[in-house]
Amino acid sequence: MLGEKVTISVIKADIGSLAGHHVTHPDTLAAAAKVLSEAKRKGILIDFYVTHAGDDLELIMTHRRGVDDPEIHGTAWNAFKEATKVAKELGLYASGQDLLSEAFSGNVRGMGPGVAEMEIEERPSEPIVVFMADKTEPGAFNLPLFKIFADPFNTAGLIIDPRMHEGFKFQVLDVYEGKSVTLSCPEEMYDLLALIGTTGRYVIKRVFRKSDELQAAVVSTERLNLIAGKYVGKDDPVAILRAQHGLPALGEILEAFAFPHMVAGWMRGSHYGPLMPVPEKYSKCTRFDGPPRIVGLGFQVKNGRLVGPADLFDDVAFDETRRLAQIVAEYIRRHGPFMPHRLGPEEMEYTTLPQVLEKLRDRFVEVKVATKAIIRRSEMLSGEERVD
């Protein structure tokens, strides 16, 4: 019905995979689907779709309970737990890796799974896109979302569609401080770029149309290493975007992924590599546990029912993007353990490298060298200098 609210929830977790961090096993998907099917029978869910991106189990659900609902999150948690049981029976690798707690506490946020949810009023035609990434972090969506909602060279509608011409607002989350700021484009575009170019810290969480505050996009921003206090796998984010009717067209949304930009993650979460858009059938991470992949599924939402999906990157139009991604992957891999392939020291702090460095700590000795004060820039990029 026109104007009736529906919530789209995409919740994912790595609960174990076949032959290393490679691909989910079909039996784990079936176990999760059984739990969601029962929830649909009971009226908890309107509809659902279970799939995977690489080694991540993805639950796409619709309901009328709003965001952060304990019943919905509990259903997802039970689906992951049942899938984990199957993973352990099969001896799959890293069974239950993303489930950082044994007991459900009413909400899966902070417990390991990634969550993107959006409550909307259905339009007469409601096209949505669900993006699911593997072997990367939430900041991987920063560049595509900027291009989709702020770059007229990507999205012509920003110039020629009067419903989009005022621009969009971006809610940016500082994942280290747990604070957010909302910036308006185009007038605050440079401020936005000053933040979101630091993809490991400042992450686009939500996007709103300025003219009426309509929510257009949401991203899962959970950082597993910050939650667990150690490296337990990469975050593998998901995102929900609404399309058409005064929002970017489907083609404008997909165009942002025609450039395989560099993202953090890949092997052991410790390397930069190109984000390769692939269909579901190629969503398996092999070469150096990668390269990082992204899958896009298109749905129509009608009275809460999921019509589809369309496998959006299953198209020869993205063959050249994939070819370029492979060329970039070949080039960057030749750097081996050297930067810029390996992440910088601030990001490596949250991987397994510190354990290696610890055993060398006492072997460092003082050397007489000419030194000077270290000048560090403010973390907020203000340009102020501080001498330590």
- Check if the beta carbon of residue 252 is closer than 8 Å to that of residue 296: no
Q: Is 195 left (phi over 0), alpha (psi -120 to 50) or beta?
A: alpha
The single residue of 49, 202, 231, 350 carrying the catalytic annotation is 231
Q: List residues bridging with 375 in a β-sheet.
A: 387
Name the active-site residue from 14, 69, 151, 236. Answer: 14
Q: Is 14 a catalytic residue?
A: yes
Q: Give the CA count within 13 Å in the CB-facing half-sphere of 111.
A: 22
Which residue, chain included where needed, has tokens 């952060």? 68
**Contact criterion met (CB below 8 Å) for 250 and 127:** yes
- Residue 247, both tokens: 């929002």
The Cα 263–Cα 133 span in angstroms is 11
User: Interhelix angle for 70-89 vs 26-41, to 10°?
Assistant: 150
Between CA 237 and CA 12 the distance in angstroms is 8
Indicate the pairing of strand 127-134 with strand 114-121: unpaired
19: helix, strand or coil = coil
Calpha distance 338→317 (Å, rounded): 34
Which residue among 135, 169, 205, 234 is the active-site one? 234
In this structure, what token pair is assigned to residue 274? 């190109």
Separation CA 84–CA 377 (nearest Å): 45
Extract the runs of DSSP E, i.e. beta strands, from the chain: 5-13, 47-53, 56-63, 114-121, 127-134, 168-174, 179-185, 202-209, 215-219, 238-242, 262-265, 271-274, 276-277, 293-302, 305-311, 375-377, 385-387
Going by C-alpha positions, the residue among 144, 119, 124, 118 that lies closest to residue 244 is 124
Q: Is 315 noted as a catalytic residue in this protein? A: no
Annotated active-site positions, please? Answer: 14, 231, 234
